[in-house]
Every structure is written in structure tokens, then in C-alpha cells.
Amino acid sequence: MAREFIPGIFWIQECGANLNDLASAMSQDSHNWYRARREVHIPQNAYLFVGEKSLLFDTLSPASSEQIIAELRHILGDRPLDYLVVSHTDTPHAGNTFKIQREYPQTRLVAPRYGDAHELYHLEDALKVGEGDVIDLGGFVLKFHEATFLDAPISVWMTEEKTRMLLPVDWIGMPHMDGECLKCVDELDAVVDVDRLLQFHGRVFFWLQYVNASKIIAEIDRINRHFNPSIIAPAHGLVIRQDASRYMNMMKTVVQVISDHGRIGVVG
């Protein structure tokens, strides 16, 4: 599935299979956003920017190889894919890199410059980017940043200058129900609250139980001021295009709860 949610910016989503353990956990307690017997998805997202040149940020997982290639063909037509950015080497983000390169052999592979094991992931010849690096597509200006909250040492975040979009990869992820795929947060019937954010971060960012919460909260304030995003486009959630800084602030509560109570959302 793909959606042009901003002119020239396409959101390509893999919703994956029903997460039965998460749906079961939802049905056993009261959650404002969940409706009984609904499927629960934690998506994989890729974002395609099409200006004078084009750039794809992340690749979806190998389960969606045919989908990502079909979407690129449909959107780009006879145009090339000029850049392919791998945010980090986790399978849901980089799993279709080789297949996309075979489809678009002239694409320039772009990888984080952080970490020292690029050759283990066939990234030694990639264009390495990090804080201060820019790719101008003609219409969109993409800037790269050291990832503040990450789950792999070879990681990078990205922003788009014109729209003030922040792409924080795994940060600010959230589950959604069937019927909510490719909906922006402002289009949902139920409000995205701390509980929904906890259901993702309590599983994926379980290391937050070990952190100094006050320092993490101060860092959230810093990146909120620094990026001042109008749009947040996460890798495992729904696009936030209104009150973006409010959701960033909600993450402070998420961090505090996980720090206070340990790993959350684990069934069995």
C-alpha cells in the first residue's frame, strides 16, 4: 500500500500479520484506542521522496519484496530511483536493499556513517552520511542526523527541510488496528495516547527500563527544540502531521513509566 500524503512524498506501508499476542493483551484490559476482536498491526514504513530526483528511505521487510518493487514501479514509472537510504541494518528496514538495487541498478546506496562494521552488511561502498550531510533532490532537501534513540550502532535519522518532517526511524512508533492502515494520526477515531505509545516502546525499547529517565527526558526536550518538527514520520507507526511536538512530549511520560515499572506489554 502507498499513499501520497504530501505532494511528492509517498508513504509505503507493510502492515504484516495480525499480532495475536498484542491483540490478546489489549482484550484483557481497558484501552481507549483498541476495539475488541480487531486485528492489531505494528507496521513497517518506507518513504519515497520525488522531486527532480528521487530518494527512498528504508525498504520494508523481505515479506513485502514484491510490494515495494511494485509501488516503486507505479510511482516512478520510467524515472530512476536516484537514492536508496538504509536507516540501519535491521531486517525490516534494509531487507529489500539487494532486490531494489537489482531493479534500479543505478541507484546510489546511502548508509549511516556511524559504526565501524559496514563491510559486514555490504555497505562499504555506500555513500556514508551523518550529522551535517545534505541531499538536495530539487524540491526536497534531506538532512541527516545522528540517531538519538536507536537499536543498532549503524543508524541515522533524517529530516526534510521544506516540510519540517522528522523521520526518527524506530522512535515514536505505535500499533494500529485493521482499518487504520495508512491513516495519519489526525484521521483516527481514537486519540493516540500514552497507552498506545507504551504498547510499542514497552516491547521494542525495553532498554528504557535501565536508563536515567531524567536525562532521557531532558534529551527529548533538546531534540524537540532542535528539530521543531511539523510532521513526524516513524518507521513503525502512523504519520503525525498535527501537534507533532505534543507527541514528542508524550514520549517523556512513556520513558518515565518504563523506567519506573520495567518492560511493559510482554504477554506470557
pLDDT in tens, 26-65: 555 657 777 777 888 889 999 999 999 999 999 999 999 9
Topology classification of domain 2-261: Metallo-beta-lactamase; Chain A (3.60.15)
Is a pLDDT exceeding 80 seen at residue 72?
yes
Strands across the sheet containing 54-57 = 2-6, 9-14, 44-50, 54-57, 83-85, 108-112, 127-129
Q: Per-residue confidence at 262, pLDDT binned at 50, 70, 90? A: confident
Is a pLDDT exceeding 80 seen at residue 170?
yes
Q: How far apart are CA 132 and CA 100, in angstroms?
A: 27
Cell of 86: 538504509
- Each residue's pLDDT tens digit, 115-160: 888 888 888 999 999 999 999 999 999 999 999 998 788 899 999 9
| CA distances for 109 relative to 173, 248, 260, angstroms | 25, 30, 41
3-class SS of residue 179: coil
Q: Where are the domains of the chain?
A: 2-261
pLDDT > 90: percent of the chain: 72
Is a pLDDT exceeding 80 seen at residue 18?
no
Q: Characterize 15-37 residue by residue with b for buried, 16 or more Cβ atoms within 10 angstroms of its Cβ, and e for exposed.
A: bbeebeebbebbeeeebebbeee
3-class SS of residue 262: coil
- Each residue's pLDDT tens digit, 190-211: 889 999 999 899 888 888 889 9
pTM of the entire structure?
0.94
- Each residue's pLDDT tens digit, 234-260: 999 999 999 999 999 999 999 999 999
